[in-house]
Amino acid sequence: MSPTAPVVDAAQSQSLFQTAYIPWLVAGYAAYVLLYRAVLYPRFFSPLRNVPGPPLGNPLLGHYLTIVTSESCIPHREWAKAHGAIVRMMGIFGKERLMFLSPEALQQMLVKDWLDYPRPQFMRDVLGLVAGYGLLTITGDEHKQLRKAMNPAFSITNLMAQTEMYYEPIEGLIEIMKAQIKAELTPAAGKIFTMYDWMGKVTLDIICDTAFGYKTDSLHNPHNELAVAFEQLLELQSGPNLAKLVAILSLPFSATLATSEWMYRHRWIIGRLPVIHSFERLVDSMYRIRGISAAMLRAKTADLSVAPDDTSTKKDIMSLLVRARKADLDADPRADAMTDTAMVDQVLTFLAAGHETTATGLSWTLWLLANDPESQRKLREEVTPVYAANPRPDYRTLKSLTWLNCVVNESLRVLPPVPLTIRAAQKTDYVEGVLVPKGTVITIPIRAINTWKEVWGPDAEEFHPARWLALPAAYNPAFSHFSFIAGPHGCIGKAMALVEMKAVLVALITNFEFAPAYAGQVAHPATAITMKPEDSMPLRVSRVVS
């Protein structure tokens, strides 16, 4: 043995000693960070510590579990009642969140300084994956340009021309429901229909026709490829699935991978993994939806009838985009025109944003009418003569129906299809005198804003369509009924959704009576991006006896 050997041994054992301590040091540091971030910071150091709000809750999970296991936006509404229009809540690992209800705060964050309050990155990642990388995911100048390019598709002129396209699916729905009631042993007693499923089919057929000029006819053909893929995608929409998706998308390159050809061919790998195995269906449905959309785009681009100046024949959104791109390239062949992939993404956004929201709105309207026979009777009285004169009422006629307008507004107010949304502060700012640190996630509690007693009075949470005939003094047209929010990111499809809901309701209410499916039936709004009814809304439907 060399004389230096004992020295080396001592050095080795010292380094081994140090290595053994590394996990303890890491664990100690993590515990300190956790203790500081989750316990000490929010209680003693945060600039938000004096903002009113519920008790801080579990240090690791904050109010997360309360929010995802409760009916959408109900905890937020209760906190607003208890603490006022500015509330501090806790996310996971001590992440503070703020919630604002007042028109002044909403105006600042969503209208005046909207560029400083974009949708948070995790929200954009999820929306991009399931709804295409379009208006819902981009912000700033890119958003301004795209929104400008899209606005003509939602102009009143285009909407007036489009309304006619809604009636083929609506008439199909009425015929199917009549036939199914007639086939019952006692037709006079009606039949129970799960109305959300039927509203999903009719709105899918309408949006596919208006977005792509493509006839899905899911009402008669439940195996239509696009309808099946969409149904599969929507089944995955739940609070826990969204949480898993956010976690997965936080991994680098995961979004690109999820939409890749490779992932589609190897999706079975996901199916064999624990916890996330259901996302195999997500990859499958997204791939198929994108494939069908791309094929439709190719067909349209090749379609010689889509001439740049042809506005009389094709009213669907994709044709408008193809025409706009052609016009740009004709004017300047080197123009920076939208790519095929970008066009497919835009149309997918409309398909995703415009289908389930409207189906949810219609289902809740029927539920509320089923539980308010007098409002339903009044609506039938108003719409029956209109339908008798013309079973395809046009845009202007639908807009002119007073009670129908009250019913639709009131339903969207009390049960908004999108119950809340979120934003993230891009810079440290003051909102209503509260210091909002950069990075703070802000909740816009749509359902709580819509039913705020300070504006709507003590019966704010109840369905009373007549309130739209005499609005309260505190009503603010832009910020008191916030179902479509406001500002540059406000819903581009608002006018379309309203006229579509009205067209469906005129036909349904003229032909059928709606009642709860059974005594004591209770509604179950799901906790997800949209507030769809968890049980698909069974209602007893009978023919109107004239």
Q: Give the separation between CA 8 and CA 68, rounded to whole angstroms.
A: 58
Q: Give the separation between CA 41 and CA 115, rounded to whole angstroms.
A: 29
The answer to whether 481 and 450 are in contact (CB under 8 A) is yes
* Close Cβ partners of 53 (under 8 Å, ≥ 6 residues apart): 79, 83, 87, 88, 89
The answer to whether 135 and 491 are in contact (CB under 8 A) is no
Binding residue positions:
491
In the complex, minimum distance from the CB of residue 108 to ligand HEM, in angstroms, rounded to a whole number:
16
Residue 353 sits in the site that holds ligand HEM (CB under 6 A)? yes
**Closest to ligand HEM by CB, 216 or 349:** 349
Greatest C-alpha distance within the chain: 112
Is 55 strand, coil or helix?
Answer: coil
Residue selected from 365, 405, 411, 483 as contacting ligand HEM according to rule CB under 6 A: 483
Applying CB under 6 A, the span of 14-22, 35-43, 414-422, 538-546 interacting with ligand HEM comes to 414-422
Q: Give the separation between CA 407 and CA 243, rounded to whole angstroms.
A: 34
Q: Which residue has the tokens 């303890």?
A: 24
Residue 443 sits in the site that holds ligand HEM (CB under 6 A)? no
Residue 361 sits in the site that holds ligand HEM (CB under 6 A)? yes
Residue 136 sits in the site that holds ligand HEM (CB under 6 A)? yes
**Closest to ligand HEM by CB, 57 or 487:** 487
In the complex, minimum distance from the CB of residue 521 to ligand HEM, in angstroms, rounded to a whole number:
23
Applying CB under 6 A, the span of 2-10, 80-88, 411-419, 534-542 interacting with ligand HEM comes to 411-419
In angstroms, the Cα distances linking 480 to 41, 371, 456 are 35, 25, 8
Amino acid at 170: I
Residue 135 sits in the site that holds ligand HEM (CB under 6 A)? yes
**Closest to ligand HEM by CB, 193 or 350:** 350
In the complex, minimum distance from the CB of residue 543 to ligand HEM, in angstroms, rounded to a whole number:
27
In the complex, minimum distance from the CB of residue 25 to ligand HEM, in angstroms, rounded to a whole number:
43
Residue 105 sits in the site that holds ligand HEM (CB under 6 A)? no
Q: Give the separation between CA 329 and CA 335, rounded to whole angstroms.
A: 6
Residue 202 sits in the site that holds ligand HEM (CB under 6 A)? no
Applying CB under 6 A, the span of 47-55, 241-249, 398-406, 492-500 interacting with ligand HEM comes to 492-500
Residue 369 sits in the site that holds ligand HEM (CB under 6 A)? no
Positions 322 through 351 that interact with ligand HEM (CB under 6 A): 349-350
Fill in the DSSP letter of residue 133: S
> Edge-to-edge strand order for the sheet containing 538-543?
191-194, 538-543, 512-516
As given in the structure block, the two tokens for residue 319 are 């044709």
Binding residue positions for heme:
491
**Closest to ligand HEM by CB, 38 or 491:** 491
Applying CB under 6 A, the span of 58-66, 98-106, 241-249, 480-488 interacting with ligand HEM comes to 480-488
Q: Which residue is nearest to ligand HEM (CB)?
A: 493
Q: Give the separation between CA 453 and CA 217, rounded to whole angstroms.
A: 43
Residue 357 sits in the site that holds ligand HEM (CB under 6 A)? yes
Positions 522 through 541 that interact with ligand HEM (CB under 6 A): none
Residue selected from 130, 324, 398, 497 as contacting ligand HEM according to rule CB under 6 A: 497
Residue 101 sits in the site that holds ligand HEM (CB under 6 A)? no
* Close Cβ partners of 488 (under 8 Å, ≥ 6 residues apart): 111, 114, 143, 144, 147
Residue 358 sits in the site that holds ligand HEM (CB under 6 A)? yes
Amino acid at 493: G
Residue 492 sits in the site that holds ligand HEM (CB under 6 A)? yes
Residue 398 sits in the site that holds ligand HEM (CB under 6 A)? no
Residue 62 sits in the site that holds ligand HEM (CB under 6 A)? no
Residue 421 sits in the site that holds ligand HEM (CB under 6 A)? yes
In the complex, minimum distance from the CB of residue 423 to ligand HEM, in angstroms, rounded to a whole number:
8
Among candidate residues 518, 514, 535, 539, the one with its CA nearest the CA of residue 193: 539
The answer to whether 264 and 284 are in contact (CB under 8 A) is yes
**Closest to ligand HEM by CB, 416 or 445:** 416
What own/partner pairs with CB < 8 Å and gap ≥ 24 does 266-272 have? Answer: none
Residue 418 sits in the site that holds ligand HEM (CB under 6 A)? yes
**Closest to ligand HEM by CB, 127 or 306:** 127
Q: What pairing do the DSSP bridges indicate for beta strands 512-516 and 96-100?
A: unpaired
**Closest to ligand HEM by CB, 119 or 300:** 119
Gyration radius of the chain's alpha carbons: 27
**Closest to ligand HEM by CB, 263 or 412:** 412
**Closest to ligand HEM by CB, 158 or 358:** 358
Q: Give the separation between CA 439 and CA 450, rounded to whole angstroms.
A: 26
In the complex, minimum distance from the CB of residue 129 to ligand HEM, in angstroms, rounded to a whole number:
16
Residue selected from 87, 424, 496, 503 as contacting ligand HEM according to rule CB under 6 A: 496
Residue 137 sits in the site that holds ligand HEM (CB under 6 A)? no
Residue 511 sits in the site that holds ligand HEM (CB under 6 A)? no
Q: Angle 340-370/317-331 helices, nearest 10 degrees?
A: 150
# residues contacting ligand HEM (CB under 6 A): 24
Residue selected from 314, 489, 532, 540 as contacting ligand HEM according to rule CB under 6 A: 489
What own/partner pairs with CB < 8 Å and gap ≥ 24 does 186-191 have? Answer: 187/543, 188/542, 188/543, 189/542, 190/513, 190/515, 190/540, 190/541, 190/542, 190/543, 191/540, 191/541, 191/542
The answer to whether 415 and 364 are in contact (CB under 8 A) is yes
For ligand HEM, the binding residues (CB under 6 A) are 119, 135-136, 147, 349-350, 353-354, 357-358, 361, 416-418, 421, 483-485, 489, 491-493, 496-497
